[in-house]
């Protein structure tokens, strides 16, 4: 006779079941779609749309995309009140937080002679 997960859980102490439940919730919370994240934060598409300067339909389309520019993702997360971090993981070392990714503060292009002369 096969043992079900329900049967296995019944055999554990209440403390152990609580720890397993907490760990499961933590693992589930670590991975969310943009839509799930927005809903978990109790934020409407209309509110995100206002923050991004787009319409609600644009937010709906954005949440369904599987390929976003990092700058778009950063702006969307910021519209929900968060900040975006990008972490690279390797098998032979700890995680590395990448910096300077998808930042709006682009350096001004170098001025050519004509532009520099005209502004002098």
Q: What is the CATH number of the domain that holds 90?
A: 1.10.260
- pLDDT (0 to 100) of residue 63: 95
Secondary structure of residue 27 in the 3-state scheme: helix
Give the pLDDT band (50/70/90) at residue 5: confident
In a domain, 113, yes or no: no
Other C-beta atoms within 10 Å of 15: how many?
A: 8
Segment 85-111 shows an average pLDDT of: 77
Domain tally, the chain: 1
Q: Which residues pair with 74 in a beta bridge?
A: none
In a domain, 114, yes or no: no
Q: What contacts 34, CB < 8 A, 6 or more positions away?
A: 62, 63, 73, 76
Per-residue pLDDT tens for 46-71? Answer: 999 999 999 999 999 999 998 999 99
Range of the domain at 19: 12-106
Give the pLDDT band (50/70/90) at residue 24: confident
Q: What is the pTM of this model?
A: 0.61
């Amino acid at each position: 006779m096969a043992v079900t997960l329900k049967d296995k859980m019944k055999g554990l102490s209440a403390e152990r079941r609580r720890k397993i439940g907490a760990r499961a919730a933590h693992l589930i919370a670590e991975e969310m779609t943009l839509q799930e994240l927005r809903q978990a934060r109790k934020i409407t598409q209309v509110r995100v749309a206002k923050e991004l300067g787009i319409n609600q339909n644009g937010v709906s389309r954005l949440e369904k995309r599987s390929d976003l520019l990092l700058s778009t993702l950063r702006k969307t997360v910021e519209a929900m009140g968060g900040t975006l971090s990008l972490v690279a993981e390797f098998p032979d070392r700890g995680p590395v937080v990448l910096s300077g990714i998808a930042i709006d503060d682009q350096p001004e292009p170098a001025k050519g002679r004509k532009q520099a002369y005209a502004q002098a």
